[in-house]
């Protein structure tokens, strides 16, 4: 188990659950982590961030997740990286256009 403030998110059972693939092919990759990214987009919109800032934050997280840290996450395929961005931005757009 990973130690630290976010250690509870990275316990083996939760990681296994979040890695459950829903759709996977050369063009689309959706797993349960996609819903976390969707909620992140909604949360960032709720906090009042602009779309440009949200895209930068989501991209920064993806770079950190895939290239900087080595222990908490597995390296993703490019299609997963892209769909994480799409779902995060979609969450933002849904909140901005339909909720507020």
CA dihedral 64, 80, 86, 44 (to 10 degrees): -40
48: left (phi over 0), alpha (psi -120 to 50) or beta: left
Provide mean pLDDT across the span 62-87.
Answer: 84
d(CA 89, CA 86): 5
Tokens of 26: 């050369």
pLDDT value at position 15? 76
- Bridge partners (DSSP) of residue 30 are 23
Q: What is the mean pLDDT of the chain?
A: 86
Q: Stretch 21-42: mean pLDDT, rounded?
A: 95
Residue spans per domain, the chain: 7-99
Residue 26 has pLDDT above 50, yes or no: yes
Q: What local confidence, expressed as pLDDT, does residue 56 receive?
A: 98
What is the C-alpha separation between 37 and 49, in angstroms, rounded?
Answer: 15
Please give the Cα distance from 43 to 88 (Å, whole number).
10
């Amino acid at each position: 188990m990973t130690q630290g403030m976010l250690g509870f998110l990275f316990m083996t059972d939760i990681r296994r659950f979040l890695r459950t693939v829903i759709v996977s092919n050369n063009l689309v990759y959706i797993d349960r982590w996609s819903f976390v990214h969707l909620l992140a987009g909604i949360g960032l919109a709720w906090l009042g961030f602009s779309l440009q800032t949200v895209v930068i934050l989501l991209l920064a997280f993806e770079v950190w997740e895939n290239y900087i840290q080595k222990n908490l996450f597995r390296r993703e395929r490019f299609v997963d990286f892209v769909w994480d961005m799409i779902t995060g931005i979609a969450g933002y757009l849904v909140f901005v256009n339909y909720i507020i």
